Amino acid sequence: MTKIISSNLGYPRIGEKREWKQALEQYWDHSISEKELLDKTKKLRLENLKKQQDLGIDLIPVGDFSLYDHVLDTSVMFGVIPNRFDYHGGKVSLDTYFAMARGVKHAVASEMTKWFNTNYHYIVPELESIKPTVTENLPLTYYKEAKQELGIDGKPVILGPITYLKLSKGYEEKDFGHLLHAFLPLYIQVFKELEEAGVTWVQLDEPIFGTNLSEEILANTRQAYEAIQDEVPNLNIIIQTYFESVVQYKEVVDLPVKGIGLDFVHGESLSLIQEYGFPKDKVLAAGVINGRNVWRADLENNLQLLADIKQTVESDRLIVQPSSSLLHVPVTKEQEEDLDVTIKGGLSFADEKLVEVVTLTEGLKNGKQSVNEELQKSKQELERLRNSTLRTNKEVKANIENLNEDDIKRSVPFNQRIKKQQEHFHLPLLPTTTIGSLPQTTEVKKTRTAWRKKQITTNEYEQFVRDYIKKWIGIQEELGLDVLVHGEPERADMVEYFGEKLNGFTVTKYGWVQSYGSRCVKPPLIVGDVYFDQPMTVKEAVYAQSLTDKPVKGMLTGPTTIYNWSFVHNDVPRKTVLNQIGLALRKEIEALEENWIKIIQVDEPALREGLPLDRNKWQDYLEDAVYAFKLATASVKDDTQIHTHMCYSDFQDIFDTIDALDADVISIETSRSHGELISTFEENTYNKEIGLGVYDIHSPRIPSKEEIKQNINRALKTISSKQFWINPDCGLKTRKEEETIEALKTMVEAAREIREELLTYQK
């Protein structure tokens, strides 16, 4: 390479209007054939590549596209198929691929968990009893397609071996080196085939290098990359890191590869290269445009950052790119016609970020004056947003400044208030409930859309919502659930809904990003100071409670999850914004309590996902998350019960934090991890109440009663029946009505049978 070039690390899969999602769900519903699915997704994939080509990106990623998840794609490429699935070698069928992700009648889906500190979920590879082999060189297939169809000499993207194995399960840490030795020849085979096809650059994603790795793992890493270098010395491999700066910087940049990709947006990468230097024989792929947020870059500052980098790395060894894959941001802001012009002017989605990358590349090559017009526009749009009235609410600022420790304390400790709660609710042993949302049918979505388009009146829409609530209160009572929910038919999304209600937020029309599988979310934008204006959930909760004598939960999303699942402006410290959200939710909780809603669930499914990759930075993050949660919940009366919910996390890492939240009841996913979370409670004392999700709602399969009873009994070996709640592992919004009713019926029957067994035994 003799000049500065631009690059991209990955592009959103979903399409500008979620065409990808629609094609997948049509295939799952048997509305289209496999060929039609592949044709539709190929068309979208080529359109994505063509767009990057037209925008002027030099190194365009190929192989970043997926039909579900890129980690699952890696498993399939290497034949890592769990024994419970119908697979007998060779190329993996599409039905087996989706069965691993979604489950089938005879086999539960593979575990799903968060991709580092993002809201993207990956399918966890299961390595137990696996003999890996190359079933299909997927990066090669995508490379050839891009070259033949569009003349693009693409950059294949592959998940690196260290990250892949560290994210896998089914082996002990001491066996890591042995497993790496087993996978290494397969990676080398893939690389050799790429090299033979004429590939110049390969992006090997190793975000695991942003975490704390042992010396043994680092030694294994060194040996692996030396072996790769020996076998394919002419292939230009870039080890790509992102989401944080590299913890063991000196060891990673010394690995025998052509290039190292560093994130200069998150962490201390600039300080690291300034202090320790950067190898003279390597290319630096500098991630200077934020790949995880949607705000326009300050291009003048970015250009200065690149100038600072150039003090250490010569121009002919520099690549300009986003800090991570653009998988985590929406496709384009061009369709956001309804947004305030000041807010829209301050935004930059995937397409706009690529324009920023190209602009910075041009400015670095030809001087600041060559892109002066773009620099001035960037500066003007950002100043207009920063100076808007959205950012200057004096009352909110005063409320935050006056906070003290008394604001986050319940009036009495758990062991005293739980007695009052039990006297108030009179719940049975092993009480049953759901997490919150109930099926959002096509009718629900169409009716909400019709209301938003003003095709029906607000009165008609609210009557529809009431009818839905009444129907599902009746269903829950008939099923025999003990604590009910209103079902959330008025909410398209658990965070976006509050973004529509709270001041300081705005929402987009097409700002979708992939969360898991075909599930896409539309994160709201936090554009200013956040504050409560009027009740957001009280009307629906009160109506639901009027229909039954059983308790109905008030349902809120917690401050850390709202923060983590929103696109937040960078001008105010994270802690301040969290506390603004916490204070706003506190007022909503007090309004619910005043209206006799006595069980209030404040969900924090995203609490763990926001953890910095570097463990040394965890404490401040967790302390801020706990403070904001308690700020929201601590003012309630002793006999009001606070619930929370978390999903798909390694809870053993944050057990003390879970306890510190001081929620009366916590529900945690455990179905896909096959009870592994229970070991956390074997090793730690937890005196509050807990529900370990007893079946997986992300799969369309209906669990058997024996399966649910097995999950319950496994938990009861560790957790007292007096503490234990029975619930699904997450909300039921994405499930169909019939399967939801059948699964809940089975769950209630299983709970009732075990309850009777326990009561008989106690007599």
The pLDDT tens digits for 235-275 are 999 999 999 999 999 999 999 999 999 999 999 999 999 99
Q: What is the mean pLDDT of residues 303-315?
A: 94
Q: How far is CA 449 from CA 25, 235, 492, 507, 737, in A?
A: 19, 51, 10, 15, 20
Binding positions are: 18-21, 114, 435-437, 488, 519-520, 565, 603, 609, 645, 647, 669, 730
Q: Is the pLDDT of residue 25 over 90?
A: yes
Q: What is the mean pLDDT of residues 484-501?
A: 94
What is the share, in percent, of the chain residues with pLDDT greater than 90? 83
The residue ranges of DSSP E strands in 604-735, in sequence order, are 641-646, 665-668, 689-692, 724-725
pLDDT category of residue 648 using cuts at 50, 70 and 90: low
Q: What is the mean pLDDT of the chain?
A: 93
In this predicted structure, what is the pLDDT of residue 750?
Answer: 95
Q: What is the mean pLDDT of residues 181-210?
A: 97
The CA dihedral of 695, 696, 702, 706, to the nearest 10 degrees, is: -30
pLDDT tens digits for 84-107?
Answer: 998 989 999 999 999 999 999 889
Binding positions for L-homocysteine are: 435-437, 488, 603
Q: Is the pLDDT of residue 2 over 50?
A: no
Q: Is the pLDDT of residue 286 over 70?
A: yes
Beta bridge partners, 169, equal 126
In this predicted structure, what is the pLDDT of residue 753?
Answer: 95
pLDDT category of residue 686 using cuts at 50, 70 and 90: confident
Q: What is the mean pLDDT of residues 400-425?
A: 94
Least-confidence region, from 70-84, 300-314, 669-683, 704-718: 669-683
Q: What is the mean pLDDT of residues 31-59?
A: 98
Backbone angles phi, psi at 400, to 5 degrees: -70, -40
Binding positions for L-methionine are: 435-437, 488, 603
Q: Is the pLDDT of residue 730 over 90?
A: no
Own/partner contacts of 742-748, CB < 8 Å, gap of 24 or more, are: 742/702, 743/695, 743/697, 743/702, 743/703, 744/434, 744/476, 744/479, 744/481, 745/479, 746/702, 746/703, 746/704, 746/705, 746/708, 747/432, 747/694, 747/695, 747/703, 747/708, 748/432, 748/479, 748/480, 748/481
In this predicted structure, what is the pLDDT of residue 374?
Answer: 94
In this predicted structure, what is the pLDDT of residue 621?
Answer: 94
In 91-231, which residue ranges form alpha helices assigned H by DSSP?
A: 94-102, 138-150, 161-166, 176-196, 215-231
What is the share, in percent, of the chain residues with pLDDT greater than 70? 97
In this predicted structure, what is the pLDDT of residue 217?
Answer: 97
Binding positions for 5-methyltetrahydropteroyltri-L-glutamate are: 18-21, 114, 519-520, 565, 609
Q: Is the pLDDT of residue 591 over 70?
A: yes
Q: Is the pLDDT of residue 674 over 70?
A: no
Catalytic residues: 698
Asked whether the beta carbons of 758 and 752 are under 8 A apart, the reply is no
Distance CA 189, CA 328 (A): 30
Secondary structure (DSSP) of 270-320? HHHHHHH---TTSEEEEEEE-SS--BPP-HHHHHHHHHHHHTTS-GGGEEE
In this predicted structure, what is the pLDDT of residue 1?
Answer: 43
In this predicted structure, what is the pLDDT of residue 671?
Answer: 55
Distance CA 720, CA 116 (A): 32
In this predicted structure, what is the pLDDT of residue 756?
Answer: 93
Q: What is the mean pLDDT of residues 198-214?
A: 96
In this predicted structure, what is the pLDDT of residue 698?
Answer: 73
Helix axes 458-479, 737-762, angle to 10 degrees: 40
Q: What is the mean pLDDT of residues 339-348?
A: 94
Q: β-pairing, 283-289 with 259-263?
A: parallel
Q: What is the mean pLDDT of residues 541-545?
A: 98
Backbone angles phi, psi at 426, to 5 degrees: 50, 50
The SS3 of residue 665 is strand
Q: What is the mean pLDDT of residues 528-550?
A: 96
Asked whether the beta carbons of 80 and 127 are under 8 A apart, the reply is yes
**Which residue ranges form the domains of the chain, and what is each CATH number?**
394-762 (3.20.20.210)
Predicted TM-score (pTM) of the model is 0.89
pLDDT category of residue 75 using cuts at 50, 70 and 90: very high
Q: Is the pLDDT of residue 649 over 60?
A: no
